[in-house]
Structure 1
Protein backbone atom coordinates (compact mmCIF):
# COMPACT_ATOMS: atom_id res chain seq x y z
CA UNK A 1 0.00 0.00 0.00
CA UNK A 2 3.06 2.23 0.13
CA UNK A 3 3.02 2.81 -3.64
CA UNK A 4 -0.47 4.38 -3.56
CA UNK A 5 -0.89 8.16 -3.46
CA UNK A 6 -1.53 9.72 -0.05
CA UNK A 7 -5.10 10.75 -0.74
CA UNK A 8 -6.00 7.21 -1.85
CA UNK A 9 -4.40 5.67 1.26
CA UNK A 10 -6.35 8.10 3.45
CA UNK A 11 -9.58 7.15 1.67
CA UNK A 12 -8.93 3.42 2.14
CA UNK A 13 -8.07 3.91 5.81
CA UNK A 14 -11.25 5.92 6.31
CA UNK A 15 -13.22 3.10 4.68
CA UNK A 16 -11.66 0.56 7.04
CA UNK A 17 -12.53 2.71 10.03
CA UNK A 18 -16.08 3.22 8.75
CA UNK A 19 -16.57 -0.52 8.27
CA UNK A 20 -15.38 -1.11 11.82
CA UNK A 21 -17.89 1.46 13.09
CA UNK A 22 -20.67 -0.17 11.04
CA UNK A 23 -19.87 -3.60 12.51
CA UNK A 24 -19.91 -2.32 16.08
CA UNK A 25 -23.11 -0.31 15.64
CA UNK A 26 -24.76 -3.25 13.86
CA UNK A 27 -23.90 -5.51 16.78
CA UNK A 28 -25.37 -3.03 19.23
CA UNK A 29 -28.55 -2.70 17.16
CA UNK A 30 -28.96 -6.48 16.98
CA UNK A 31 -28.42 -6.73 20.74
CA UNK A 32 -31.11 -4.14 21.46
CA UNK A 33 -33.51 -5.58 18.87
CA UNK A 34 -33.20 -9.03 20.44
CA UNK A 35 -34.61 -7.49 23.59
CA UNK A 36 -37.05 -4.91 22.26
CA UNK A 37 -38.79 -6.98 19.57
CA UNK A 38 -39.70 -9.76 21.94
CA UNK A 39 -40.43 -7.50 24.95
CA UNK A 40 -37.98 -9.45 27.07
CA UNK A 41 -34.83 -7.78 28.36
CA UNK A 42 -33.11 -10.92 29.65
CA UNK A 43 -30.91 -11.18 26.52
CA UNK A 44 -29.16 -8.01 27.70
CA UNK A 45 -27.45 -10.27 30.24
CA UNK A 46 -24.98 -11.28 27.53
CA UNK A 47 -23.65 -7.71 27.48
CA UNK A 48 -21.76 -8.71 30.64
CA UNK A 49 -19.67 -11.07 28.52
CA UNK A 50 -18.92 -8.26 26.06
CA UNK A 51 -17.86 -5.95 28.91
CA UNK A 52 -15.78 -8.59 30.68
CA UNK A 53 -14.04 -9.79 27.51
CA UNK A 54 -11.31 -7.12 27.28
CA UNK A 55 -10.75 -6.87 31.05
CA UNK A 56 -8.20 -9.70 31.39
CA UNK A 57 -6.25 -8.31 28.46
CA UNK A 58 -6.21 -4.84 30.00
CA UNK A 59 -5.24 -5.96 33.49
CA UNK A 60 -2.99 -8.98 33.09
CA UNK A 61 -1.35 -8.93 29.66
CA UNK A 62 2.08 -7.40 29.79
CA UNK A 63 3.46 -5.29 27.00
CA UNK A 64 6.61 -7.40 26.72
CA UNK A 65 4.85 -10.67 25.76
CA UNK A 66 2.35 -11.10 22.97
CA UNK A 67 -0.92 -12.75 23.90
CA UNK A 68 -0.92 -14.69 20.61
CA UNK A 69 2.46 -16.37 21.15
CA UNK A 70 3.61 -19.24 23.34
CA UNK A 71 4.70 -17.99 26.75
CA UNK A 72 5.98 -19.31 30.07
CA UNK A 73 4.56 -16.28 31.87
CA UNK A 74 1.78 -17.43 34.16
CA UNK A 75 -0.06 -14.09 33.97
CA UNK A 76 -0.26 -14.30 30.18
CA UNK A 77 -1.57 -17.87 30.44
CA UNK A 78 -4.14 -16.73 33.03
CA UNK A 79 -5.15 -13.92 30.66
CA UNK A 80 -5.67 -16.41 27.84
CA UNK A 81 -7.81 -18.58 30.12
CA UNK A 82 -10.02 -15.69 31.29
CA UNK A 83 -10.42 -14.37 27.74
CA UNK A 84 -11.44 -17.83 26.54
CA UNK A 85 -13.93 -18.12 29.38
CA UNK A 86 -15.43 -14.75 28.42
CA UNK A 87 -15.70 -15.82 24.78
CA UNK A 88 -17.48 -19.02 25.75
CA UNK A 89 -19.74 -17.00 28.07
CA UNK A 90 -20.86 -14.85 25.14
CA UNK A 91 -22.34 -17.93 23.51
CA UNK A 92 -23.32 -19.76 26.70
CA UNK A 93 -25.49 -17.04 28.24
CA UNK A 94 -28.03 -16.89 25.37
CA UNK A 95 -27.92 -20.69 25.07
CA UNK A 96 -28.73 -21.13 28.75
CA UNK A 97 -31.50 -18.56 28.54
CA UNK A 98 -33.01 -20.37 25.54
CA UNK A 99 -32.70 -23.76 27.21
CA UNK A 100 -34.42 -22.44 30.34
CA UNK A 101 -37.28 -21.08 28.24
CA UNK A 102 -36.62 -17.47 29.21
CA UNK A 103 -36.08 -16.27 25.62
CA UNK A 104 -37.47 -17.49 22.30
CA UNK A 105 -35.79 -18.67 19.13
CA UNK A 106 -35.87 -15.23 17.51
CA UNK A 107 -34.12 -13.50 20.38
CA UNK A 108 -31.63 -16.38 20.55
CA UNK A 109 -30.83 -16.04 16.83
CA UNK A 110 -30.41 -12.28 17.16
CA UNK A 111 -28.14 -12.73 20.16
CA UNK A 112 -25.88 -15.14 18.30
CA UNK A 113 -25.83 -12.93 15.22
CA UNK A 114 -24.92 -9.97 17.42
CA UNK A 115 -22.07 -12.01 18.87
CA UNK A 116 -20.93 -12.91 15.34
CA UNK A 117 -21.02 -9.25 14.23
CA UNK A 118 -19.02 -8.17 17.30
CA UNK A 119 -16.54 -10.95 16.52
CA UNK A 120 -16.17 -9.63 12.98
CA UNK A 121 -15.53 -6.16 14.40
CA UNK A 122 -12.76 -7.54 16.62
CA UNK A 123 -11.19 -9.34 13.66
CA UNK A 124 -11.35 -6.15 11.57
CA UNK A 125 -9.75 -4.22 14.42
CA UNK A 126 -6.93 -6.74 14.72
CA UNK A 127 -6.34 -6.61 10.98
CA UNK A 128 -6.35 -2.80 11.06
CA UNK A 129 -3.96 -2.83 14.01
CA UNK A 130 -1.36 -4.62 11.86
CA UNK A 131 -1.15 -1.56 9.60
CA UNK A 132 1.45 1.03 10.53
CA UNK A 133 -1.01 3.90 10.05
CA UNK A 134 -3.12 2.86 13.04
CA UNK A 135 -0.43 1.98 15.59
CA UNK A 136 -0.67 4.01 18.78
CA UNK A 137 2.66 3.10 20.34
Structure 2
Protein backbone atom coordinates (compact mmCIF):
# COMPACT_ATOMS: atom_id res chain seq x y z
CA UNK A 1 0.00 0.00 0.00
CA UNK A 2 3.03 2.25 -0.11
CA UNK A 3 2.22 3.38 -3.66
CA UNK A 4 -0.96 5.17 -2.54
CA UNK A 5 -0.85 8.75 -1.22
CA UNK A 6 -1.05 9.20 2.55
CA UNK A 7 -4.66 10.35 2.60
CA UNK A 8 -5.81 7.27 0.65
CA UNK A 9 -3.99 4.93 3.07
CA UNK A 10 -5.54 6.82 5.98
CA UNK A 11 -9.01 6.41 4.47
CA UNK A 12 -8.49 2.68 3.93
CA UNK A 13 -7.25 2.22 7.50
CA UNK A 14 -10.26 4.14 8.79
CA UNK A 15 -12.44 1.72 6.85
CA UNK A 16 -10.71 -1.19 8.57
CA UNK A 17 -11.40 0.34 11.96
CA UNK A 18 -15.02 0.87 10.93
CA UNK A 19 -15.24 -2.81 9.97
CA UNK A 20 -13.94 -3.79 13.42
CA UNK A 21 -16.50 -1.54 15.09
CA UNK A 22 -19.32 -3.03 13.02
CA UNK A 23 -18.20 -6.59 13.81
CA UNK A 24 -18.04 -5.98 17.55
CA UNK A 25 -21.38 -4.14 17.53
CA UNK A 26 -22.94 -6.94 15.50
CA UNK A 27 -21.67 -9.50 18.01
CA UNK A 28 -23.20 -7.57 20.89
CA UNK A 29 -26.52 -7.22 19.03
CA UNK A 30 -26.61 -10.96 18.26
CA UNK A 31 -25.89 -11.71 21.91
CA UNK A 32 -28.74 -9.50 23.10
CA UNK A 33 -31.12 -10.83 20.43
CA UNK A 34 -30.36 -14.40 21.50
CA UNK A 35 -31.88 -13.46 24.83
CA UNK A 36 -34.61 -10.99 23.86
CA UNK A 37 -36.16 -12.85 20.93
CA UNK A 38 -36.61 -16.08 22.85
CA UNK A 39 -37.59 -14.39 26.15
CA UNK A 40 -34.91 -16.28 28.02
CA UNK A 41 -31.98 -14.42 29.54
CA UNK A 42 -29.87 -17.46 30.41
CA UNK A 43 -27.55 -16.94 27.40
CA UNK A 44 -26.26 -13.83 29.18
CA UNK A 45 -24.36 -16.33 31.32
CA UNK A 46 -21.68 -16.51 28.63
CA UNK A 47 -20.59 -13.09 29.79
CA UNK A 48 -20.34 -10.74 26.88
CA UNK A 49 -22.74 -8.18 28.29
CA UNK A 50 -22.91 -8.41 32.08
CA UNK A 51 -20.57 -5.85 33.63
CA UNK A 52 -18.53 -8.20 35.82
CA UNK A 53 -18.00 -10.82 33.12
CA UNK A 54 -17.45 -8.12 30.50
CA UNK A 55 -14.65 -6.79 32.67
CA UNK A 56 -13.17 -10.26 33.11
CA UNK A 57 -13.50 -11.25 29.46
CA UNK A 58 -12.36 -8.11 27.71
CA UNK A 59 -10.14 -6.35 30.23
CA UNK A 60 -8.52 -8.82 32.57
CA UNK A 61 -7.93 -11.77 30.20
CA UNK A 62 -6.00 -9.82 27.53
CA UNK A 63 -3.77 -8.05 30.08
CA UNK A 64 -1.33 -10.97 30.60
CA UNK A 65 -1.18 -11.41 26.84
CA UNK A 66 -0.27 -7.75 26.41
CA UNK A 67 2.30 -7.83 29.21
CA UNK A 68 3.97 -11.15 28.56
CA UNK A 69 3.51 -11.76 24.84
CA UNK A 70 3.90 -8.15 23.79
CA UNK A 71 2.69 -7.03 20.41
CA UNK A 72 4.45 -9.79 18.51
CA UNK A 73 1.94 -12.03 16.81
CA UNK A 74 4.57 -14.73 16.33
CA UNK A 75 4.77 -15.30 20.10
CA UNK A 76 1.05 -15.90 20.35
CA UNK A 77 0.85 -18.38 17.47
CA UNK A 78 4.07 -20.30 18.09
CA UNK A 79 5.48 -22.54 20.80
CA UNK A 80 7.15 -20.67 23.61
CA UNK A 81 9.38 -21.54 26.55
CA UNK A 82 7.99 -18.60 28.52
CA UNK A 83 5.61 -19.92 31.18
CA UNK A 84 3.68 -16.63 31.35
CA UNK A 85 2.91 -16.73 27.65
CA UNK A 86 1.83 -20.35 27.98
CA UNK A 87 -0.39 -19.51 30.97
CA UNK A 88 -1.91 -16.66 28.99
CA UNK A 89 -2.63 -18.96 26.07
CA UNK A 90 -4.27 -21.43 28.45
CA UNK A 91 -6.50 -18.79 30.07
CA UNK A 92 -7.52 -17.38 26.69
CA UNK A 93 -8.27 -20.87 25.39
CA UNK A 94 -10.33 -21.73 28.45
CA UNK A 95 -12.34 -18.54 27.95
CA UNK A 96 -12.94 -19.40 24.30
CA UNK A 97 -14.03 -22.95 25.12
CA UNK A 98 -16.35 -21.61 27.83
CA UNK A 99 -17.96 -19.21 25.38
CA UNK A 100 -18.95 -22.18 23.22
CA UNK A 101 -19.58 -24.73 25.98
CA UNK A 102 -21.93 -22.70 28.19
CA UNK A 103 -24.61 -22.19 25.50
CA UNK A 104 -24.23 -25.84 24.43
CA UNK A 105 -24.73 -27.01 28.01
CA UNK A 106 -27.74 -24.72 28.41
CA UNK A 107 -29.27 -26.19 25.24
CA UNK A 108 -28.53 -29.74 26.37
CA UNK A 109 -30.24 -29.03 29.69
CA UNK A 110 -33.29 -27.68 27.85
CA UNK A 111 -32.90 -24.17 29.25
CA UNK A 112 -32.53 -22.38 25.89
CA UNK A 113 -33.88 -23.12 22.41
CA UNK A 114 -32.06 -24.00 19.20
CA UNK A 115 -32.49 -20.45 17.89
CA UNK A 116 -30.91 -18.91 20.98
CA UNK A 117 -28.03 -21.39 20.71
CA UNK A 118 -27.48 -20.54 17.05
CA UNK A 119 -27.53 -16.79 17.72
CA UNK A 120 -25.20 -17.17 20.69
CA UNK A 121 -22.68 -19.21 18.71
CA UNK A 122 -22.89 -16.81 15.76
CA UNK A 123 -22.22 -13.96 18.19
CA UNK A 124 -19.11 -15.79 19.37
CA UNK A 125 -17.85 -16.34 15.82
CA UNK A 126 -18.45 -12.68 14.94
CA UNK A 127 -16.35 -11.68 17.97
CA UNK A 128 -13.61 -14.14 16.97
CA UNK A 129 -13.55 -12.77 13.42
CA UNK A 130 -13.24 -9.24 14.86
CA UNK A 131 -10.29 -10.35 16.98
CA UNK A 132 -8.62 -12.03 14.00
CA UNK A 133 -9.15 -8.91 11.87
CA UNK A 134 -7.62 -6.82 14.64
CA UNK A 135 -4.58 -9.10 14.87
CA UNK A 136 -3.94 -8.95 11.14
CA UNK A 137 -4.60 -5.21 11.05
CA UNK A 138 -2.26 -4.63 13.99
CA UNK A 139 0.64 -6.19 12.07
CA UNK A 140 0.42 -3.71 9.18
CA UNK A 141 0.97 -0.56 11.27
CA UNK A 142 0.17 1.96 8.46
CA UNK A 143 -1.64 4.49 10.60
CA UNK A 144 0.34 7.55 9.70
CA UNK A 145 -1.30 10.12 7.46
CA UNK A 146 1.98 11.12 5.78
What is the TM-score with the length of structure 1 in the denominator?
Answer: 0.88
**Deviations, residues 21-74 of structure 1 (Å, cap 9, x unaligned):** 000000000000000011111001112676436634313651567222321111
Q: 1:128 aligns with which of 117, 134, 137?
A: 137
Indicate conservation of the 8 Å contact 1:42/1:103, yes or no: yes
1:44 corresponds to: 44
Task: Pick which of 1-10 and 93-102 moved more.
Answer: 1-10
Rounded Cα–Cα distance in structure 2 between residues aligned with 1:12 and 1:103: 41
Q: Give the unaligned 5+ runs of structure 2.
A: none
**Superposition pairs of residues 59-78 of structure 1, within 5 angstroms:** 59=64, 61-63=67-69, 66-78=75-87
1:83 corresponds to: 92
Indicate conservation of the 8 Å contact 1:128/1:134, yes or no: no
Task: Pick which of 86-95 and 68-77 moved more.
Answer: 68-77
Q: Which runs of 4+ in 1 moved over 6 A?
A: none
1:118 corresponds to: 127
1:55 corresponds to: 60
Q: 1:109 aligns with which of 105, 111, 118?
A: 118
Rounded Cα–Cα distance in structure 1 between residues aligned with 2:127 and 2:108: 23
Q: 1:96 aligns with which of 97, 105, 110?
A: 105
Rounded Cα–Cα distance in structure 1 between residues aligned with 2:106 and 2:143: 39
Q: How many residues align?
A: 135
